[in-house]
Amino acid sequence: MERVTAMAVSTQRQIESFSLKMLPISRADIPSLHRLSLAAGWAHRPEDWEFLLQFGGGVFAVDEIGRAAGSAMFYPVSADFGALGMVIIAPRLVERGTSHWLVEHMIARAEGRDLVVSAIPEAYPVYISLGFRAGLTVFQCQGIVADAPQAVAGARLMRPQDLPRVHAADACAYPVPRPAILDLVMGVATGTVIERDGRIAGYALRRPFGRGQMIGPIVALDDDDAIALVAPHLAACAGTFVRVDTREPAGSRFRDYLHGSGLRLFDTVISMARGRDRVATGPQRIFGLLNQGIG
């Protein structure tokens, strides 16, 4: 596979009669980036952009009058594994090669790491051309929690002393350990866990995001545990907006539970990977993603 180097990717791009400049994202750029994501129909608030900047960095393209025309971020999950996210292109530039330019720059920033990304259908050709392979579908389920879901026994609230064991459970479900990222999420989240024989068998985190709350990651051994972990969060959010991103297919007990609680399918993206195949060791698996970029 051809390796893209930072020196090989220009920070200037000419598109017909106007030019774009690539700049590093800073907190001062968030208002402009928020306008870009709103125009693309994304739910991120300025606070969500600011939160993601704690995970990694990125670039954005500006036109000659300073308008944000596109963005892309890179999250260095570990020394040899990373994720891409927030790849947003202004509608007028979707078919002008801007996404390829920005993603190519993020691959260079990754410095040879294996990479994952969630791709909207319009972006598949871009990622395929840059060496990514298509994987599982991610189902974005969201809505107003209809009623307080029926209580499901087995989960309790997360405590500070649970954190090392939560990290251990997550490392079984995710391709690489990601303690630094989890600690950032836990700093703003409410968590539930299932404990058995002194070990954390599963956990779920809920945090403010977009139009309301997002539940994820959700790590569990099976559908029963995943439902038990999510039920207290949905009960706490009755009558409000909640989102869960999951790879569990329609007809699974977990998806049926989300649907019955008011979280209906809104959109789909495809998980894609570049580099070596990374497989979690298990037995836990991810029922709900932290976000579509990181997984």
Q: Is the pLDDT of residue 93 over 90?
A: no
Query: Of the ranges 16-25, 52-61, 159-168, which one carries the lowest mean pLDDT score?
Result: 16-25
202 against 148, higher pLDDT: 202
104 and 154: one domain?
no
The mean pLDDT value for 65-91 works out to 91
Q: Give the model's pLDDT for residue 11.
A: 77
Among candidates 172, 193, 191, 175, which has minimal Cα distance to 183?
A: 191
CATH number at residue 283: 3.40.630.90
- pLDDT tens digits along 240-268: 999 999 999 999 999 999 999 999 999 99
Where among 78, 102, 117 does a domain terminate? 117
- pLDDT tens digits along 46-72: 999 999 999 999 999 988 888 888 999
Structural domain of 77? 6-117
The mean pLDDT value for 217-233 works out to 97
CATH number at residue 93: 3.40.630.30
Q: Is residue 273 part of a domain?
A: yes
Q: Is the pLDDT of residue 290 over 80?
A: yes
The mean pLDDT value for 134-147 works out to 94
147 and 238: one domain?
yes
81 and 174: one domain?
no
Where among 69, 86, 117 does a domain terminate? 117
166 and 284: one domain?
yes
85 and 200: one domain?
no
C-alpha distance from residue 99 to each of 9, 27, 119, 127, 251 (Å): 13, 22, 11, 9, 35
Q: Quick one: pLDDT band at residue 13, thresholds 50, 70, 90?
A: low
- pLDDT tens digits along 173-218: 999 999 999 999 999 999 999 999 999 999 999 999 999 999 999 9
Q: Is residue 123 part of a domain?
A: no
Q: Is residue 17 part of a domain?
A: yes
191 against 13, higher pLDDT: 191
| HEC profile of the chain | CCCCCHHHCCCEEEECCEEEEEEECCHHHHHHHHHHHHHCCCCCCHHHHHHHCCCCEEEEEECCCCCEEEEEEEEEEECCEEEEEEEEECHHHCCCCHHHHHHHHHHHHHCCCEEEEEECHHHHHHHHHCCCEEEEEEEEEEEECCCCCCCCCCCEECCHHHHHHHHHHHHHHCCCCCHHHHHHHHCCCEEEEEEECCEEEEEEEEEEECCEEEEEEEEECCHHHHHHHHHHHHHHCCCCEEEEEECCCCCCHHHHHHHHCCCEEEEEEEEEEECCCCCCCCCCEEEECCCCCCC
156 and 262: one domain?
yes
**Tokens matching residue 62:** 């500006």
C-alpha distance from residue 178 to each of 15, 83, 160, 186, 290 (Å): 39, 12, 17, 12, 11
Match 């579509």 to its residue by tokens. Answer: 292
Question: How open is the CA angle 61-62-66, to the nearest 5 degrees?
Answer: 160
Q: Give the model's pLDDT for residue 9.
A: 59
Q: Quick one: pLDDT band at residue 1, thresholds 50, 70, 90?
A: very low
Q: Quick one: pLDDT band at residue 5, thresholds 50, 70, 90?
A: very low
Q: Is residue 283 part of a domain?
A: yes
Q: Is the pLDDT of residue 106 over 60?
A: yes
Total domains, the chain: 2
Q: Quick one: pLDDT band at residue 222, thresholds 50, 70, 90?
A: very high
211 and 107: one domain?
no
Q: Give the model's pLDDT for residue 260.
A: 94
215 and 113: one domain?
no
pTM of this prediction? 0.92
Q: Is residue 295 part of a domain?
A: no
Q: Is the pLDDT of residue 6 over 60?
A: no
Q: Is residue 41 part of a domain?
A: yes
153 and 270: one domain?
yes
**Tokens matching residue 277:** 């195949």
Q: Quick one: pLDDT band at residue 221, thresholds 50, 70, 90?
A: very high
Percentage of the chain with pLDDT > 70? 91
Q: Is residue 100 part of a domain?
A: yes
Q: Is the pLDDT of residue 17 over 70?
A: no
156 and 264: one domain?
yes
The mean pLDDT value for 221-238 works out to 96
Q: Give the model's pLDDT for residue 191.
A: 98
165 and 100: one domain?
no
208 and 276: one domain?
yes
How far is Cα 293 from Cα 52, in angstroms, rounded to an integer? Answer: 10
Q: Is the pLDDT of residue 145 over 80?
A: yes
Q: Is residue 122 part of a domain?
A: no
Q: Is the pLDDT of residue 91 over 90?
A: no
Where among 102, 117, 132 does a domain terminate? 117
How far is Cα 170 from Cα 175, in angstroms, rounded to an integer? Answer: 9
